[in-house]
Structure 1
Amino acid sequence: MDGFVSYQDDSDLDGGGSFTATRSYLRAGGLYRFESGHSAGLFVSAGQLDYDFDIPGARPWSDINDIRVSVPLRFPVGDRVSAFLVPSLRYDYESGVSASDGRTYGAFAGLTWRVSDRLTIGPGVGFFTQIEDDDANVFPALLVDWDITDRWRLSTGTGLGATQGPGISLSYAYSDALRVSFGARYEELRFRLDDTGLAPGGVGQDRSVPVVISVNYDPTPNMSLSAFAGAEFGGELQLESAAGAVVSTQDYDTAPLFGLAFRVTF
């Protein structure tokens, strides 16, 4: 089980006004490893993104729900190569809307090659449908897990609550229990809106590039606690009507971001 809570501080919109956002997320599930080297799992997660707008006129949206179900599968292909497939089902919708109206689905797949005991690398690709968009979101990725030295590590990973493919993280281990990491990723969240706002039954979108520094403490092998701080760069909010027309697009200023996270395994 793992989860986090984060707070995006006040950020000005280029069309006037400002907003803050609080995000909370919780995931539970398990992974079973077979003697053959194959593995299969099931993870279910639920989250909420609470927006607080301070702008003239009506707010574009308020609280957004995020529910996900994923089934990670991994298959060995020879001694050094593994293939993986992670199909997933997602529901992203404003409170007051049927979850099925915000349903999307897709998968992330790829191959990894264990070059040495220190380096694993390989290609990946994501394919996901989008709410009220006939074009699926397809993106390539390079997967890396590289122990540069005994203390420095460069890695990619989907991350808890991530809305897109892998981000990248560079970490330094001060000890077995304490490490510091610097990470960045691209985030894009689309969600179904209710029938009472500026775009009834339409779609909202929030995209940005969060960059954070994290301090991670592992008091036991089965528990990890983290505190992180950074900023959201290149932020943009978009509002679309139920017919797919863009109602408004607003950039927002770089926003401070900080939060806490945990992980517990059994």
Structure 2
Amino acid sequence: MQITRSVAWASAIVSATLALATAATAQPRQGWTPTVEGLAVYQGSADLEDGGDFSASRAFLRAGGIYSYGDGSFVGLLASFGQFSYDFGLPGNQPWDDIRDIRLSVPLRFALDNGAAVIVSPQLRWDYETGASASDGFTYGAFAGISWAVNPNLRIGPAFGVFSEVGTNDLEVFPALLVDWTFAERWRLSTGTALGATQGPGVTLEYKASESVSVGLAVRSERVRFQLNNNGLAPGGVGEDSSIPVVLSVEYAPNPGLSLSAFAGAEFDGELRLDNAAGQEVSRQGYDTAPIVGFAFRLRF
């Protein structure tokens, strides 16, 4: 079994876990806190190096909750459903259409006596094209890390993830860094939670303009693999989309239970890969820098 290094899986794991950690520490009362989150992203047209162009839209909805023990420790249950919709301009160069993304995770956080906190989050995931078998797009894994409160303004620590991949026996093994650093008045540098459940991992620089408005600049790495149906250029194969999004966001949070955010930016170093059912690479083509815009919301009850 091969081991590869990747950051793709932390998209859901880091952001989901740290978002729940924020909720648990902001609301230290014991008991359940239900949460609902949504994300919609539109990627503008980008030219493909083998000819033609494509655009895409992505939508996600996640619901669940956490049970807080009142000391910063919690256990949570999250379920999400998402869809990627691709629109290729050249009919002969259309490797796939709509992709479904279903996830189930159980994030846990344990607060230790010395100011440290341990995070563990196992996850099940299904990524597959409409018409393909969901079970063929099934993957699993876990993310874990530990962080320390160095001072009241800085929490930092190492983390790692181990996950299976669609269409291969390889494991994704990647390191990560948990950071939450308020380095100046109104300024914060953090990993994980910039743009909603599915985005990350990466680094977000945030400026709190007022009690309810924040402005952020986020950079991350993305890579998603998915099972294909039997109707495309590689029947029963595997597709992959990778890029490095950089976005500027504005968040409005009038109260602890509601936040709304809008963002705009671009995806750099984009690449589409297509493997056949035997696991052999059929094509790999880069795409030009693509503009992206989106909207996200979060409700806590």
Map of 1:245-260 to 2, 5 A cutoff?
Answer: 245-260=280-295
Amino acid at match of 1:88: Q
Counterpart position of 1:199: 234
Aligned match for 1:105, one of 110, 134, 140 = 140
Aligned match for 1:81, one of 103, 107, 116 = 116
Residue ranges of structure 2 left out of the alignment (5+ in a row): 1-35
Counterpart position of 1:171: 206
Q: Give, in angstroms, the shift of residue 221 of structure 1.
A: 2.1
Partners of 1:58 and 1:36 lie apart in 2 by 54
Aligned match for 1:162, one of 198, 203, 228 = 198
Partners of 2:278 and 2:197 lie apart in 1 by 29
Q: TM-score, normalised by structure 2?
A: 0.85
Question: 1:102 touches 1:131 (CA, 8 Å); kept in 2?
Answer: yes
Q: TM-score, normalised by structure 1?
A: 0.96
Counterpart position of 1:243: 278
Counterpart position of 1:51: 86
Would you say how many aligned residue pairs link Structure 1 and Structure 2?
265
Partners of 1:161 and 1:77 lie apart in 2 by 26
1:66 and 2:101 correspond:
yes
Amino acid at match of 1:220: N
Question: 1:192 touches 1:202 (CA, 8 Å); kept in 2?
Answer: yes
1:186 and 2:221 correspond:
yes
Residue ranges of structure 1 left out of the alignment (5+ in a row): none
Partners of 2:256 and 2:70 lie apart in 1 by 23
Higher strand share: 1
Question: 1:143 touches 1:166 (CA, 8 Å); kept in 2?
Answer: no
Partners of 1:117 and 1:10 lie apart in 2 by 45
Amino acid at match of 2:78: F
1:116 and 2:116 correspond:
no
Amino acid at match of 1:25: F
Q: Give, in angstroms, the shift of residue 223 of structure 1.
A: 0.6
Q: Which moved more, 1:234-243 or 1:70-79?
A: 70-79
Higher helix share: 2
Aligned match for 1:224, one of 252, 259, 263 = 259
**Deviations along 1:215-242, whole A, 9 cap, x unmatched?**
1111222111111000000000000000
Q: Give, in angstroms, the shift of residue 243 of structure 1.
A: 0.2
**Deviations along 1:49-70, whole A, 9 cap, x unmatched?**
0000012515200000000000
Question: 2:217 touches 2:247 (CA, 8 Å); kept in 1?
Answer: yes
Partners of 1:82 and 1:226 lie apart in 2 by 28
Amino acid at match of 1:166: P
Amino acid at match of 1:206: D
Higher relative contact order (CA 8 A, sep 6+): 2
1:139 and 2:148 correspond:
no
Partners of 2:289 and 2:39 lie apart in 1 by 21
Partners of 2:175 and 2:125 lie apart in 1 by 20
